[in-house]
């Protein structure tokens, strides 16, 4: 990386936790601007934008201002921006922040498709365990240092498995129901 930073940058796509698209520009204007930063121009840039907008289901939104999009659609624009340079590695910081459960599922499904169909290595940070469980490998960090690395099931087994926390105003009723069932 130190000897060829430009080559490394061309192989990386990044999707930040906080919005990095310009809300005052349209979806397409945002992508055109970002593509130019990667040296993309003309028909090649137009073709990449068209393909990504179709793939992510936002082609009909290309002329809309980003400020008018829902949170889920904005995340798709962010993802399109990260994929524009056709990266080998896609870095995502808390990619589902601000998404409702349905939008989160759709977004994570698209990430799996990128990995499976396109061979893109997807690296994400998350504090949502259901997202981490869908990964092939998980690294647990403490103050920037890796303290555990492995498959999600292996990591869970090493600390005792699943934990279910239930909060209720009717604890006795819940306890009696669980005892009767088990």
Residue in this structure with the two tokens 């993802």, named with its chain if needed: 79
Give the list of residues 6+ apart from residue 82 with CB closer than 8 angstroms, or none: 13, 14, 15, 90, 91, 92
- Residue-by-residue pLDDT tens, the chain, 182 positions: 567 777 777 788 899 988 899 999 999 999 999 999 989 999 999 999 999 999 988 999 999 999 999 988 998 999 999 999 999 999 999 988 877 888 788 888 888 888 898 889 999 999 888 888 889 999 988 889 999 999 999 988 887 756 677 788 888 888 888 788 77
Sorted by where each begins, the domain ranges of the chain are: 5-135
Rounded CA separation 10/84 (Å): 10
Ramachandran class of 14: left when φ > 0, alpha when ψ lies in -120 to 50, beta otherwise? beta
Residue in this structure with the two tokens 């759709």, named with its chain if needed: 106
Rounded CA separation 103/98 (Å): 9
End-to-end CA separation in angstroms for the chain: 56
In this structure, CATH architecture of domain 5-135? 3-Layer(aba) Sandwich (3.40)
Count CB neighbours of 130 within 10 A: 12
Count CB neighbours of 17 within 10 A: 14
């Amino acid at each position: 990386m130190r000897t060829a930073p430009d080559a490394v940058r061309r192989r990386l796509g990044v999707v930040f936790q906080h919005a990095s698209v310009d809300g005052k520009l349209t979806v397409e204007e945002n992508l055109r601007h970002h593509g130019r930063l990667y040296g993309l121009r003309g028909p090649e840039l137009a073709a990449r934008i068209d393909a990504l907008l179709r793939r992510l289901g936002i082609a009909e939104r290309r002329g809309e201002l980003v400020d008018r999009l829902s949170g889920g659609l904005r995340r798709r624009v962010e993802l399109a921006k990260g994929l524009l340079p056709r990266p080998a590695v896609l870095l995502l910081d808390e990619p589902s922040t601000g998404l409702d459960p349905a939008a989160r599922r759709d977004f994570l499904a698209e990430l799996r498709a990128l990995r499976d169909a396109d061979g893109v290595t997807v690296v994400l940070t998350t504090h949502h365990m259901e997202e981490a469980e869908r990964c092939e490998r998980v690294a647990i960090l403490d103050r920037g240092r890796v303290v555990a690395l492995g498959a999600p099931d292996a990591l869970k087994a090493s600390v005792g498995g699943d934990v279910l926390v239930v909060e209720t105003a009717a604890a006795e009723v819940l306890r009696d129901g669980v005892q009767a069932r088990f």
